[in-house]
């Protein structure tokens, strides 16, 4: 079996983001290498809202309606109040992601928050 060609910058992505399903995410990023620089650019904006030790996890959720895995999600894991977490994600959108998404409207990438059930955040 031929090894997939991995996009430049993937090592840096895996330093800044937690990737529990590494093989799936690497395959996805190999098919969509344009996501890698966007993830790297996003990191300081995520840290601005969620702290310098923010744990952001990359996942490709299964869409039960379509039966596919179409988008990569970067979830900022947090233990803060859900309203505050949503406010921070809104500020992330206002500071950077809204304009970046306008530049890349077809990019299969989304950012969101998720509750940190395993207590891995540093808040």
Tokens 């998404």, residue located: 101
Which H or E run contains 109? strand 109-115
Question: What is the value of pTM for the model shown?
Answer: 0.87
Residues 6+ apart with CB under 8 A from 32: 72, 107, 108
CA distance 35 to 28: 9
DSSP, residue by residue, 34-56: THHHHHHHHHHHHHHHH-TT-EE
Where does the pLDDT of residue 120 fall: very low under 50, low under 70, confident under 90, or very high at 90 and above? Answer: low
Q: Flag the least confident range among 38-52, 69-83, 107-121.
A: 107-121
pLDDT value of residue 2: 46
The stretch 61-74 carries a mean pLDDT of 85
pLDDT value of residue 1: 43
CA distance 85 to 105: 24
Q: For 22-61, how does the pLDDT look when each residue is reduced to its tens digit (9 = 90+)?
A: 999 999 999 999 999 999 999 999 999 999 999 999 999 8
């Amino acid at each position: 079996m031929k090894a997939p060609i991995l996009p430049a910058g993937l090592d840096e992505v895996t330093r800044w983001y937690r990737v529990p399903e590494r093989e799936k995410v690497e395959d996805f990023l190999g098919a969509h290498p344009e996501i890698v620089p966007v993830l790297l650019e996003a990191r300081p904006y995520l840290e601005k809202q969620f702290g310098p030790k923010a744990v952001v996890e990359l996942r490709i959720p299964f869409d039960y309606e379509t039966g596919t895995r179409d988008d990569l999600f970067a979830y900022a894991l947090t233990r803060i109040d859900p309203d505050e977490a949503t406010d921070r994600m809104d500020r992330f959108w206002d500071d950077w992601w809204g304009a970046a998404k306008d530049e890349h409207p077809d990019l299969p990438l989304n950012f969101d928050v998720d509750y940190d059930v395993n207590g891995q955040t540093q808040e």
